[in-house]
Structures are given as C-alpha cells and as structure tokens.
Structure 1
C-alpha cells in the first residue's frame, strides 16, 4: 500500500492556514479589483475537488489504497479553496463565493477508464504547479503571492503522489498502463496544438449535460481562465514549455526510456498500441 507512506510524507509538509500564511503583511494598495476577481474564480475552481473525489471513489471501489489516499488529496485541495476564500473574506468580502456558486460546480462526472483518469490528473497537477507559480509572480500583494506559492508546492507534491500510483499501475498492468499514460500524456502536452490550456477543469466530463459539462463552464465567468492566462498572468510559451517538459521528464522516468519531445512520445505510444494489438490485450475496464 502507498497510502501510509504518502500520509507521512504529506503530513510533514502540511501548512497551517492560521499560522503559516502572513495575513498581517497585507498591502491593500497592491491588490486591484481585477486581481481579486481572479482569486474568486480560482477559489471556486479549487472547490471542484469535491466532484472529482466523488468520481475517484466511485471508479476505484476496487482499490482501497488509492481511495484512502483521496482523503489526503481531497482535504488539501479543499483547503486551497478555503484559503483563497479566507483571503477574500478578509480583504475583499464582497467577492467571497456564495454557497450557490460553489455548489454549481458539483455535478456527476461520467465513468472513465481509471488509468487514463489517473494520468489526466497527474498532468493537471503538473500544470497547476506552473499556473500558480506564474500567478505568484504576477501579483504584487505579499499575502496572495505567498498563498499561490504555497498552493503551487502542494500541487507539485500531489503530482508526485499520483506518479507513485502510476508506477504501481505499471507494475500491475505493464504495457496497458504505459499505453494509457502515453495517450493521455500526448493529449495533455499538446496544448499548443489544440490552442487550449488542457486541464481537468476545462474538459467535458458529462455527455448528458454537454456543453455545460466542464467546471469552467459553470463558473460565474466561464471565460475567465483564458483571460487570466493570456492577458493577466501572461502564461506564455516559456511557461508552457515548463509544463510540457515536466510531463515528458516524468514519463521518461516512468517508462525508463528517453522521451524528450512530443513526437518521441507519440512514436512510443504507437509502439505500445501495436504491441497490445499483437498480444490481444483487453483494455482495463472502468469500474
């Protein structure tokens, strides 16, 4: 089991909202209304850990180890929403998300293959790590700079935890797991091709609710993410390269072979697909 080990590791790194956030360092003249509104949108988006956890628990009933890990991930992700809301409560109370706004993003996700979903969320953590680092640099106000840096570090640790479960999956399922991870890794590392910053919160997850079946589509401002990334925090090509590089480096270590480009990942994905066809491997079903 990985849960006991991960519990100890993440417990040592856990921060306290009352003591570890420098609330007294707030500088009102360094926070604009525009910036405060982006904090509100991120607070609501972080609340999406609730429906994501419900999805994980439903689709991993067979895996008590991973399901137990969700108790850590859910707690820490909900604390992200809470610390952003606390910031607004203290310094922009009129922008604190309402219960209705938070509940609007709680809806059921369609069942999906567990291996692909695991990789999707690993890539999401890699991307959020860089988004929040970039946001911390964009802000001038000391408290929110510190908060975003703290959240970024959490997301990096969460990505490391998901990676451990990915390694475990390869030990159990071999090339089936490698193929699933390569497929989703290729998708998530190809944002420049899709002209869209791919993340679990802006992907469609419930066919019956389409097109209002993404987390972003249910926010008070569904268009905020693109504006935040392009016109506000300026998440440009060098930042995107960090996301892609992080995905490729981790897959290189995971697959124990050099994968330095998206093209190399695509070639390996095709190799795995051909190998599975030759072996007549039936894909691991969603539960």
Structure 2
C-alpha cells in the first residue's frame, strides 16, 4: 500500500496558507488587470479537481489504496484554488470567482478505463508543473510569483505520486498497464501535432453534454487557456519540449527502456500491441 508512505512524504512538504505565503510583500503597482484576470481563471480550473476526484473514486472502487490517496490529492488541489482566491480576495476582490462560476465546472465525467485515466493525469501534472513555473516567471507581483512557484512544486510532487501508482499497476497488470500508459503517453507527448495543448482541462469527458463537456468550455472565457499560453506566459516550443522530455524520461525509467523521442515510444507501444495480439 502506497498511501501511508505518500501521506508522510507529502505531509512534510505541506505549506500553510496563512504563514508560508508572504502576503505582506504585496506590491499593488506590479499587478495588472490582465494578470489578475488570469489568476481568476486558474483558480476556477484548479476547482475542477472536485469532479475529477468524484470520477477517480467512482472508477477505482476496487482500489482502496489509490482512493485513499485521493484524500491528499483532492485536499492539495482544492488548496491551490483557495490560495489563488485568497490572493484575489485580499488584493482584487472584484475578480474573485463566484460560487456559480466555480460550480459550473463540476459535472459528471463519463466512465473511462482507469489505467488510461491514471496516465492522463500523470501527464497533466507534468504539464501543470511547467505551466505554473512559466506563470511565475511572467508575473511581476512578488506574492503571486511565490504562489505559482509553490503550487508548481506541489504539482511536481503529485506527478511523482501518480508515477508510483503506475509502477504498482505494472506490477499487478503487467503489459496491460504498459499498453495503456504508452497509448496515452504517445498522445500527450505528440503535442506538436495537436492544434491545442493537451491537458485534462480541455479534453471532452461527457458525451451527452458535448461540446460543453470540457472544463475549459465552462470557464467564464472559454478562449482564455490558449491565449494565456500563447500570448501571456509565452509557453513556447522550448517550454513544451520540457513537458515532452519529462514524460519520456519518466516512461523510460518506468519501462526500463530508452525513449529519446515520441517515435521511439510509439514503436514500443506497437510492439506491446503486437505481442498482445499474438497471445
């Protein structure tokens, strides 16, 4: 069981919203209206951990270890939403998300294969780590810079926790888990071929609600995410390469292989599928 170990390690890294955030260092002249609006949008997207947790608990009823870990992940992700909202409450109360805006991103996700979902969220944490690092660099106000650095480190730790559950899944399910992880890995590492960034917040998750079935589609401004990435935090090709590199390095370690690029990962995926077909 991984939950006790992860609880202990994440507990040691936990930060306090009141005492660890340097609220007194706020510099009003270094926060623009444009920047403040992006904080609101990030707060709402972080709130979407609520429906994601409901999905995880529903689809992992047979796995009490992973379900228990959700108590940590859910707490820390909702805390990210809370610290961003607290920043706005203190310094830009006019932009605090309303309860209605937050509740709009809570909707039911269709059931999905749990191994693919696990890999998808691992990749999402790798991507968020880099997005928030870049956001911290883009912002000019020192308190929000510190907040984004802080939540970026949390996302990196969450990615590490998901990776441990992926390793456990391989020990239990063998090549079935490897096939699921490589399938999603190829998709998420093929970002250069996609017309938009691939992340759980902009993937369709409820067929009956299509096309209004992504977290992004339910934001006050559904076009915000691409604008934030392309024109505000400037998440360029070099930044994206760090995301892809992180996915490939972790899968290389997980599978005891060497993936220098997504093509090599795809070849490995095909070899797993071929072996499965021959059984």
Fold match by TM threshold 0.5: yes
The residue that corresponds to 2:173 in the other structure is 173
Partner of 1:124: 124
Q: Distance in 2 between matches of 1:228 and 1:158?
A: 23
Quote the Cα distance in structure 2 between the aligned partners of 1:25 and 1:277: 61
3-state SS, counterpart of residue 269 of structure 1: helix
Q: Name the SS for the 1:111 alignment partner.
A: coil
Paired position in structure 2 for 1:57: 57
1:152-171 matched pairs, under 5 angstroms: 152-171=152-171
- Does 1:274 find its partner at 2:269? no
Aligned to 2:109: 109
**Whole-Å separation in 1 of the counterparts to 2:185 and 2:49:** 21
Q: Deviation string for 1:59-107 (max 9, x for gaps)?
A: 0000000000000000000000000000000000000000000000000
CA displacement at 1:12 relative to structure 2: 0.2
Q: Could you say which residue in structure 2 is the equivalent of 1:15?
A: 15
Q: What RMSD in Å do the two structures reach over aligned CA positions?
A: 0.4
User: For 1:36-115, what aligned pairs fall within 5 Å after superposition?
Assistant: 36-115=36-115
SS of match in other structure, 2:234: coil
Report the CA distance between 1:196 and its aligned residue: 1.2
Q: Return 5+ residue gaps in structure 2 as ranges.
A: none
Q: Secondary structure at the match of 2:251?
A: helix
What is residue 284 of structure 1 aligned with on the other side?
A: none
Question: Which piece of structure 1 moves more, 270-279 or 84-93?
Answer: 270-279
> What CA distance in whole angstroms lies between the structure 1 residues aligned with 2:92 and 2:275?
56
Q: How many residues are paired up? A: 279
CA distance in 2, matches of 1:195, 1:160: 28
SS at match of 1:97: coil
* 2:257 paired with 1:257: yes
Measure the CA separation in 2 of the matches of 1:56 and 1:151.
21
Aligned to 1:240: 240
2:9 is the alignment partner of 1:32: no
**Partners of 1:191 and 1:222 in 2: CA distance:** 20
Distance 1:222 1:272 in 2: 38
1:195 to partner: Cα distance? 2.1
SS at match of 2:259: coil
Corresponding residue for 2:141? 141
Normalized against structure 1, the TM-score is what?
0.97
Secondary structure at 2:169's aligned position in 1? helix
Kindly report structure 1 stretches of 4+ aligned residues shifted beyond 4 Å: none
Unaligned runs of 5+ in 1: 280-287
Distance in 2 (CA, whole Å) between partners of 1:146 and 1:174 is 41
For the residue of structure 1 that corresponds to 2:112, the secondary structure is coil
Who is 2:196 aligned against?
196
When normalised by structure 2's length, the TM-score is: 1.00
The residue that corresponds to 1:283 in the other structure is: none
